[in-house]
Amino acid sequence: MLAQLLLEPGKIDYREVETPEPGPGEVVVRVTAALTCGTDLKAYLRGHPKMPMPTLFGHEFAGDLAAVGSGVEGFREGDAIMAVPTAPCKACYYCKHQQENLCTTVMDKMVLGAYAEYVKLPSQIVQTNMFPKEASLSYAEAALLEPLSCVVHAINRVALRPDDSVLIIGAGAISLLHVLVLRSMGIERITVLGRRRYRAEAAESAGATVLVATDPASAYAQVAEGTGGRGADVVIECTGQPPVWEQAIQYVRRGGTLVLFGGCPSGTRVSFDTGRLHYDQITVLSPFHFTPRDVEQAQRLLAEGTIDGRPLITDTYRFPDLEQVLALLQQGQGIKYALVPSAI
Ligand SMILES: [Zn+2]
Ligand SMILES: [Zn+2]
């Protein structure tokens, strides 16, 4: 089969590799759509601790079952499916405490190879985190299951009230997914804070108010103005940059909640004013990844059409054009791109 390989940071190659075969309990998916993700761009530019190179590349996908291993129940060859690239072990301490997002092995066996004609899914994913795809849902939208599961996990941890004001920092795909999920819950006071208006246009169309600021002082003044000087009830940081984590707490009202969604590189540090944490009683959450319950919920949101994923997908390209697509993302153009096999 043909697959995009990430050889080293900055270097990819679309080449012939061995087509995977399913073992017992496994399936092989013929990928019909893969989506770009911020993680892909980071890995392409700087490398990634969980992606030793050379490696297959891409982790958001949907497709049809090309081969089904022995013992797989409920799925047949030809079925259209959607899945996430990880599944918990169900045996470790964290899995037994319903914190499967923290499963000790969940990230080790992450499936890579969405930008390839075929991708093999291990039995844990087949059993727990793979679903039939509704015919009404496009493959590209179905491939949103992984990022949407992360966002559902985060929002599930926040005690939200319908009249809460929510400030989302960052204007990319994850920010837009937060807007869509919050809107589906009936939350109307959503503001997206970004550096460039055109990046936030889709969030604006989805019903969010957009604030554009290039420095923290002007951002803070605008947020204060929109919240009676108090700050937002809930602030969700979606950029994953330590300086932005530190600024984010300034936008939270007393007694409010700060959600640090965007992951920073491990080992980096931030500091917060203790007065804001204690005397202003700000709750800080930093949700990571998702549990099978979140995936199921995300799958329903897509399958039932509650979340319309189309505004997230800027354009569609062929697998061989991945380098061109990564260049567009590097220039800050577009939200997510769908990549499809050349033969379709
Ligand atoms: Zn992703
Ligand atoms: Zn586990």
What is 188-211 written as a DSSP string?
A: -EEEEEES-GGGGHHHHHTT-EEE
Pseudo-torsion of CA 136, 138, 139, 145, nearest 10°?
Answer: -80
Cα 286 to ligand 2 centroid, rounded to whole Å: 20
Cα 147 to ligand 1 centroid, rounded to whole Å: 5
Mean pLDDT of the chain: 95
Residues 237 and 98 in one domain: no
Cα 273 to ligand 1 centroid, rounded to whole Å: 32
Residues 145 and 16 in one domain: yes
**In this structure, which long-range contacts are made by residues 277-284, counting pairs with CB atoms below 8 Å and at least 24 apart in sequence?**
277/249, 280/252, 280/254, 280/255, 281/254, 281/255, 282/249, 282/252, 282/254, 282/255, 282/256, 282/257, 282/258, 283/256, 283/257, 283/258, 284/249, 284/257, 284/258, 284/260
Residues 139 and 195 in one domain: no
Residues 26 and 52 in one domain: yes
Give average pLDDT by consecutive 10-residue segment, the chain, 344 residues.
96 96 98 96 90 94 98 97 97 98 92 97 97 97 98 97 97 96 96 88 93 92 94 97 96 98 94 97 98 98 96 96 96 94 73
Domain total of the chain: 2
Residues 260 and 335 in one domain: no
Cα 230 to ligand 1 centroid, rounded to whole Å: 34
Structural domain of 44: 2-149+290-340
Report pLDDT for 197: 82
Report pLDDT for 109: 84
- Of the listed ligands, the closest to the CA of 41 is 1
First to last CA, the chain: 15
- End-of-domain residue from the set 263, 285, 307: 285
Report pLDDT for 242: 97
CA distance linking residue 242 with residue 20, whole number of Å: 40
Residues 315 and 196 in one domain: no
Report pLDDT for 123: 96
Residues 66 and 90 in one domain: yes
Going from the C-alpha of 160 to that of each of 20, 154, 156, 234, 341, the distances in angstroms are 44, 11, 9, 8, 41
Residues 138 and 8 in one domain: yes
How many separate helices (H) and strands (E) can be counted in the chain?
12, 16
Cα 169 to ligand 1 centroid, rounded to whole Å: 18
The b-or-e profile of 246-267 (16+ CB within 10 A means b, else e) is bbbbbbbbeebbbbbbbebeee
CA distance linking residue 216 with residue 226, whole number of Å: 15
**Which helix H or strand E contains 116, and what residues bound it?**
none
How much of the chain is helix, strand and coil, in % rounded to 5? Answer: 30, 25, 40
Going from the C-alpha of 57 to that of each of 50, 119, 166, 206, the distances in angstroms are 12, 10, 34, 31
Which residue in this structure is represented by tokens 């319903």? 98
Contact 259, 248 (CB under 8 A): no
- End-of-domain residue from the set 245, 263, 285: 285
Residues 111 and 10 in one domain: yes
Among 183, 220, 217, which Cα is nearest to 308's? 183
Report pLDDT for 198: 81
- End-of-domain residue from the set 243, 262, 285: 285
Question: Which residues lie near ion ligand 2 (Cβ < 5 Å)?
Answer: 88-89, 92, 95, 103
The domain that holds 242 is classified in CATH as 3.40.50.720
Q: What is the 3-state secondary structure (H, E, C) of 29-81?
A: EEEEEEECCHHHHHHHHHCCCCCCCCEECCCEEEEEEEEECCCCCCCCCCCEE
Residues 208 and 265 in one domain: yes
Q: How much is the pTM?
A: 0.96
Residues 7 and 145 in one domain: yes
Residues 193 and 272 in one domain: yes
Contact 100, 90 (CB under 8 A): yes
